[in-house]
């Protein structure tokens, strides 16, 4: 009896341990520590509070965009339109601001634009029309980008209110506001995904759509919400980005969909759905930020940085699939 008990105990311990080891977040964390460690050895400027805050500020846009992307990927979808939606909502709110609209109202309208774009994606993907996410969001990518070029006539918008720049440039208790925004949004998203009824449904839909439907879950609403959230976080990313630059370019956010995807995948998300976590995605975004920042400090050219990020993605996914065997 006693023997049995202790065996059970050790089983539980083994279980907990293997769960930690198996978790993909753990893998991303190890990667982050390794990269940070080697960079701090190579450059004395890396491991300083101001540089770390700098990295966090740099990744704030991508990190926010990646939240929605993670939701979508967990449901088994993909959102290629986030970069363009980011630009469109930034362009619209900047246009309104420079044409006499109250700054806060302009920001809210920008966010509504993002939400609407995501909602439209969701309508085509999740309802009975049932189109593949890749195609729908590819179309939205073109449409949103096109509109932002039309509105600005292809030119950047300058002269945003000084106050607006405070969003990305300001500090609260010595912490940059974008960093506070990331932390807040990630906490909300994490709690939502891990501890609420609707959160579990995103994983369920990604894991086995039919079983989830049979269980009586409205899977169309779950998917619709995922794309709407993605549009919303893209627009928040747009506001942070334009605030940082105190101007908006119609071509801003180009390629962000792939960065957001990379952040989610490095953080353990699987494109086949059902897997992924916001903690992982945040670590993924930080990994990419740290890598770029460190290579900058080491005077490595931007061209080689792209190679490095690509290699990191490969290594992470490779480790993941090797471990599954």
Partner 1 sequence: MDNGYIFRLEGISKSFGGVKALQNINLEIKPNEVLAIVGDNGAGKSTLVKIISGAIIPDKGKIYFKEKEVLINNPREAALLGIQICYQDLALVDCLDVATNIFLGREICRRIFGLADFLLLKRMREESIKHLKSLGVEIQNVKEKVKNLSGGQRQVIAISRAVYWGTKLVILDEPTAALGVRESKKVNELIKSLKQNNISVIIISHNLQHVFYVADRVIVLRHGEKVGERKIRETDGDEIVKMITGSEFNGQELAY
Cα 171 to Cα 43, 49, 168, 290: the distances in Å are 27, 14, 9, 21
238 or 273, CB closer to partner 1?
Answer: 273
Contact 231, 116 (CB under 8 A): yes
Site for partner 1 in 212-271 (CB under 8 A): 212, 214-217
Q: Which residue has the tokens 């993670």?
A: 70
75 or 230, CB closer to partner 1?
Answer: 75
Among 6, 9, 10, 15, binds partner 1 (CB under 8 A): 15
Residues 269-298, one symbol each (x = binds partner 1 by CB under 8 A, - = not), give -----xx-----------------------
* Residues recorded for the chain: 325
We find the least distance from the C-beta atom of residue 229 to partner 1, in angstroms, to be 14
Q: What is the DSSP string of 291-319?
A: HHHHHHHTT--HHHHHHHHHHHHHHHHHH
We find the least distance from the C-beta atom of residue 198 to partner 1, in angstroms, to be 7
Contact 74, 230 (CB under 8 A): no
We find the least distance from the C-beta atom of residue 196 to partner 1, in angstroms, to be 5
Reported as type and span, the H/E element at residue 171 is: strand 171-172
Which among 221, 207, 187 is positioned nearest to 273, based on CA atoms? 207
User: If binding means CB under 8 A, how many residues of this protein chain bind partner 1?
Assistant: 23
Residues 184-223, one symbol each (x = binds partner 1 by CB under 8 A, - = not), give --------x--xxxx-x--xx-xxx-xxx-xxxx------
Q: Does 75 bind partner 1 (CB under 8 A)?
A: no
We find the least distance from the C-beta atom of residue 275 to partner 1, in angstroms, to be 6
Which among 39, 41, 21, 40 is positioned nearest to 30, based on CA atoms? 21
* Site for partner 1, rule CB under 8 A: 11-12, 15, 192, 195-198, 200, 203-204, 206-208, 210-212, 214-217, 274-275
């Amino acid at each position: 009896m006693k023997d049995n008990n202790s065996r059970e105990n050790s089983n539980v311990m083994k279980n907990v341990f293997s769960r930690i080891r198996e978790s993909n977040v753990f893998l991303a964390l190890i990667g982050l520590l390794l990269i940070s460690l080697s960079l701090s050895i190579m450059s004395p400027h890396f491991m300083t509070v101001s540089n770390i805050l700098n990295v966090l500020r740099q990744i704030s846009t991508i990190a926010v965009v990646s939240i929605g992307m993670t939701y979508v990927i967990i449901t088994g979808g993909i959102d290629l339109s986030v970069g363009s939606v980011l630009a469109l909502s930034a362009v619209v709110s900047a246009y309104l601001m420079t044409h006499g609209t109250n700054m806060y109202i302009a920001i809210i309208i920008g966010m509504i634009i993002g939400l609407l774009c995501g909602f439209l994606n969701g309508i085509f993907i999740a309802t009975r029309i049932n189109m593949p996410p890749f195609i729908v969001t590819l179309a939205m990518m073109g449409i949103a980008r096109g509109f932002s070029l039309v509105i600005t006539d292809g030119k950047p918008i300058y002269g945003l209110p000084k106050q607006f720049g405070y969003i990305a440039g300001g500090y609260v208790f010595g912490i940059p506001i974008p960093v506070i925004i990331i932390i807040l949004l990630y906490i909300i998203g994490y709690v939502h995904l891990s501890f609420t009824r609707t959160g579990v449904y995103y994983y369920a839909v990604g894991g086995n759509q039919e079983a989830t439907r049979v269980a009586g879950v409205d899977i169309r609403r779950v998917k619709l919400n995922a794309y709407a959230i993605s549009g919303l976080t893209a627009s928040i990313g747009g506001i942070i980005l334009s605030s940082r630059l105190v101007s908006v370019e119609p071509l801003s956010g180009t390629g962000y969909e792939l960065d957001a995807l990379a952040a989610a995948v490095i953080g353990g998300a699987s494109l086949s759905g059902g897997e992924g976590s916001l903690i992982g995605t945040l670590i993924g975004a930080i990994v990419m930020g740290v890598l770029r920042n460190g290579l900058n400090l080491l005077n490595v050219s931007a061209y080689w940085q792209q190679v490095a990020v690509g290699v990191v993605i490969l290594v992470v996914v490779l480790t993941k699939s090797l471990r599954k065997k």
